[in-house]
Structure 1
Amino acid sequence: MPTLLFDYGGTLDSDARHWNYVLRDGFTKAAIEHPALAQLDTDTWRAAYVHGERALAQHPIILPEDDFATLLHKKVTLEVEHLCTEGGFQFSAEERESIVDIVATYCDTQARHTTLRARKVLDILVTRGYDFVLVTNFYGNIRAVLQGYGLLDLFPRIVESATVGVRKPDPAIWQLGIDLAQRAPQDCIAIGDAFGKDIAPAHALGCKTIWFRGEEWTPKSVDESIPTHIIEDLSELLTLLP
């Protein structure tokens, strides 16, 4: 029975939609109460998203005990501040707080619903005898996030970029997952939504791979012969993994 090496963000919490799209939907929802946001264009939004990502990666903003709702509030605050300082939007402090609450609540709700569905798939895989290792780019708080969404008990073995000091797409982070599994690469199946960060590096190490194909940051042509399997819904794992 192979060990399943799961990615987290995108794969288990957003149905293979890059998180910039989920957050963008949150801002669209916030535009109902804050109509100026209806003018938010894709380039301005993406610049704010990248700003938030870089700030979280470079500064100790996220604490180990932060659940995903807390992470979202911090992340969206950075994005809204960037929209005001660099994107031309003018919101009062009260309006900024309202926007952050709307967006963060929307995204947390989406993630909670998605991880609940993922949990049902994972539980069935456990009953079939599969064991898991989580391999994720995250901020040092993945255990708190998993705890908040009721997934922590499924992943006693975790490789988190902020903790191990290596990030995808570096194959070394997947090698750490293989090492934790204490299996040969060919006895591991890597499952992720990002072709370049998950599938290509795990394949290069000799793992079998399952690409959860969805809405990536930038549509691109890839060699679809590389993944062992391609799925478009997490529940398809139940057919592929008897």
Structure 2
Amino acid sequence: MIKGVLIDYGGTIDTNGLHWGSVLWSAYQKFESGITKEEFSKAYSFGERSLAINPIIKPSHSFYDTLELKVEQQFQFLKDNGSELPAELIKAIAKECNDFALETVRKAKPVLQELASQYPVILVSNFYGNINRVLEVFEIESFFQEIVESAVVKVRKPDPKIYQLGVEALGLKPEECVVIGDSFTKDIVPAKTIGCKAIWINVAGWEDTTVNHEGPYQADAEIKDFSQVPGIINQLNK
């Protein structure tokens, strides 16, 4: 029986399975940046590494602040590589993506509320040290019994240890826990590695990778919408 729930944040709760690379790329296209997808992909990867390594994002930063800083890093990379964009696009892209996240989180709230009413719920996220502020602004912090954030615990997905910390916070056995996430390699594989059940929100990845969806790392269920989670957990418990 499933007695506890571990949920990924980015790409799961805030985009309903869409990779943030896809969300940001759509905004670049909407505002006619003129950047190719290959150029954006390189800028996106650079920005993610930069924010993970450097203390650019502070605990007080909201999700909009995070997006603005993220896009600033991308624009700097593009400028350094010969593709300078108008500075005013930074705020426009950040707002577009933040509005998308706000609406997606609004739809996710009733699902989180239902889960939290039935199970202890832990958030497990690769984030920048400000996830508590993000959850507070989006008004969903009360649904989580505890937060396991990579910048705080100094362990990042796909290292299974970060999910092990979540299981330990629940005080349950791994087989009594289910992990919900959008990334096969960063959520499903580490979840199955430590013995948890796993629900994969398989909507849209970003990089083309070949992964083995079968064998020991096969998800216990695949879904296309976060709203399906409570029903799937009920099915797994039958």
Q: TM-score, normalised by structure 1?
A: 0.91
In structure 2, what is the equivalent of residue 45 of structure 1? 40
Deviation at 1:145, TM superposition (A): 0.6
- CA-based RMSD: 1.3
Partners of 1:231 and 1:224 in 2: how far apart? Answer: 16
In structure 2, what is the equivalent of residue 177 of structure 1? 166
Q: Match of 2:222, SS?
A: strand
Q: Deviations over 1:65-119 (max 9, x none)?
A: 1010001111111111211111x2234xxx31x1001100000000001111111
Shift in alpha-carbon separation, 1:126–1:77, aligned structure 2, 3 A: same
Gapped regions of structure 1 (runs ≥ 5): 32-36
Deviation at 1:224, TM superposition (A): 4.2
Aligned-residue identity in percent: 37
In structure 2, what is the equivalent of residue 55 of structure 1? 50
Partners of 2:44 and 2:103 in 1: how far apart? Answer: 23
Gapped regions of structure 2 (runs ≥ 5): none
Deviating above 4 A after TM superposition, structure 1's stretches of 4 or more consecutive aligned residues are none
Match of 2:70 among 75, 81, 93: 75
In structure 2, what is the equivalent of residue 10 of structure 1? 11
Partners of 1:99 and 1:147 in 2: how far apart? Answer: 27
How many residue pairs match? The answer is: 230
Deviation at 1:222, TM superposition (A): 2.6
Match of 2:195 among 202, 206, 209: 206
In structure 1, what is the equivalent of residue 103 of structure 2? 113
Q: Match of 1:159, SS?
A: strand
Instruction: Please tell me the residue identity of whatever aligns with 2:136.
Output: Q
Match of 2:116 among 126, 130, 143: 126
In structure 2, what is the equivalent of residue 66 of structure 1? 61
> Would the aligned equivalents of 1:137 and 1:162 in 2 still touch at CA under 8 Å?
yes
Q: Deviations over 1:154-191 (max 9, x none)?
A: 11301100000110000010100000010000110011
Shift in alpha-carbon separation, 1:189–1:66, aligned structure 2, 3 A: same
Deviation at 1:221, TM superposition (A): 3.8
Partners of 1:140 and 1:42 in 2: how far apart? Answer: 29
Q: Match of 2:204, SS?
A: coil
Q: Match of 1:90, SS?
A: coil
Instruction: Please tell me the residue identity of whatever aligns with 1:172.
Output: K
Instruction: Please tell me the residue identity of whatever aligns with 1:67.
Output: S
Instruction: Please tell me the residue identity of whatever aligns with 2:222.
Output: I
Q: Match of 1:211, SS?
A: strand
Partners of 1:221 and 1:62 in 2: how far apart? Answer: 32
Q: Deviations over 1:27-73 (max 9, x none)?
A: 11222xxxxx23x1111111110111111011110000101000111
> Would the aligned equivalents of 1:29 and 1:102 in 2 still touch at CA under 8 Å?
no
Instruction: Please tell me the residue identity of whatever aligns with 2:123.
Output: L
